[in-house]
Structure 1
């Protein structure tokens, strides 16, 4: 029987070929003052991501092949539920999410089920332009209306969830491109989860090569609109306001 971790937070870090950055990211998280456990979900990497993460102090969950961020996060949520973590937070393995902001994002869970670390909330100098910017503005406006609160960065992967959010994600967390951010958020909101955002500062990628270019930016615009429309066709989940504790679920 696994031991519950009711007083700890699980950091879920999806990683695909991030051997250059994942080690330092894990060490930075573990150096913070929080009661955090780090789970690196090795998403079918072909490099030394798993070895580097393990040496840095993370628990590594191996996926047999690349599933994408959505698939990796679903595996992380299952791990969190199995081992009794009441709160989770996603951190990018490339180091763009500053571990110093973890406590601030988690604090948002005091009054919401999902807390988003927002890049465009009057903090820091992170900017985007062109089609990506247009897409983000449209998405933020539409999803803000669903959430009934102002959101400026609905595609941020720097987000935390409580036990209720974990239950909703286990019922529905898509693996499609942008599904892990847009689709999952819309369905969570329509299923009764609440959301808030916390201003954070983004850092440059700590390793590897950025994937953005003009062509990909245009594709992003089209896919983001499709993801939003598709999200509204998804079934709503029925998530009770109070989930049973891990101890009750495990029969202890």
Structure 2
């Protein structure tokens, strides 16, 4: 089996790590375990030292995605496993992820069922993400935002420059793998209730929801989002023209504005498509 590195981003997850790290070491005794301490103010560093695992500490919080990037750069294994440090993910599932990865995939994602979602709101949001990503990629996306995944290190590091410092690294990495035609598989898992207080904030999460929707499109094929929007404005312009011509026998500024918007949106989508292609271009 390939040399394995397990990366856990953690911010004030000391309580969970006390229980998780011994279980992780028991499940994967030969693996490199890296806890990336994202500016914690608790005893995370001491717990890692007591457990005999590597702890990379930041002087202040840089975000979940930043911790993932730092851990991926430091890892020595040729297979990377990412899991949350809050105790939700079962270390026993790592073997299943690796077994699936060795069947010829470049990334395997742990797909949560509805009971494993962090509340109804998050469950609904994730269902929408999965549906949209499936439509965009033409592949069945079972869990776009799951943070429990295994990936080949060389493939994953190709996209480090794309990953945000915030919470949407799973979305970005998944769409990047699909765009680059790297095979991705999903494996059903059960996620437990997290230990300690969640870092999720409803208002901030609402804004993040819409940002992820746009990120799904722009990371894969922007024209698939912009072209239907352009067509919608064009049809609205036609409908408005038909109404005003029938009632007043004239063309109004509103119809002209809608048609102009349709052309502009389509051109923006076309330019975005070219930019996306350049982002993923690899030198031979």
* TM-score interval for Structure 1 and Structure 2 normalised by the shorter chain: 0.7 to 0.9
What root-mean-square deviation, in Å, do the aligned CA atoms of Structure 1 and Structure 2 show?
A: 2.4
Query: Comparing both structures, which one devotes a greater share of its residues to helix?
Result: 2
Deviation at 1:129, TM superposition (A): 4.8
Structure 1 gap ranges (5+) = 1-5, 242-252
Give yes or no for the alignment of 1:228 onto 2:213: yes
Please name the residue that 2:134 is paired with.
144
Distance 1:8 1:239 in 2: 26
Give the TM-score taking structure 1 as reference length: 0.80
- Secondary structure of the residue aligned to 1:23 is helix
Change beyond 3 A, Cα 1:113–1:34 = farther
Distance 1:38 1:21 in 2: 15
Please name the residue that 1:250 is paired with.
none
- Secondary structure of the residue aligned to 1:20 is helix
- Secondary structure of the residue aligned to 2:160 is helix
Please name the residue that 1:249 is paired with.
none
Deviation at 1:217, TM superposition (A): 4.1
- Secondary structure of the residue aligned to 1:233 is helix
Distance 1:159 1:195 in 2: 10
How many residues are treated as equivalent by the alignment? Answer: 225
Aligned ranges 1:47-58 → 2 under 5 Å: 47-58=42-53
Higher relative contact order (CA 8 A, sep 6+): 1
Give the TM-score taking structure 2 as reference length: 0.71
Distance 1:166 1:70 in 2: 13
Change beyond 3 A, Cα 1:228–1:184 = farther
Give yes or no for the alignment of 1:44 onto 2:29: no
Please name the residue that 2:280 is paired with.
237
Distance 2:50 2:186 in 1: 33
Deviation at 1:75, TM superposition (A): 0.3
Aligned ranges 1:125-204 → 2 under 5 Å: 125-127=115-117, 129-177=119-167, 179-204=168-193
CA contact (8 A) 2:10 2:35 kept: yes
Distance 1:116 1:98 in 2: 13
Mean Cα deviation higher: 7-16 or 216-225: 216-225
Change beyond 3 A, Cα 1:198–1:64 = same
Mean Cα deviation higher: 142-151 or 21-30: 142-151
1:32 paired residue among 21, 27, 34: 27
Change beyond 3 A, Cα 1:36–1:186 = same
- Secondary structure of the residue aligned to 1:198 is strand
CA contact (8 A) 2:5 2:81 kept: yes
1:86 paired residue among 74, 78, 88: 78
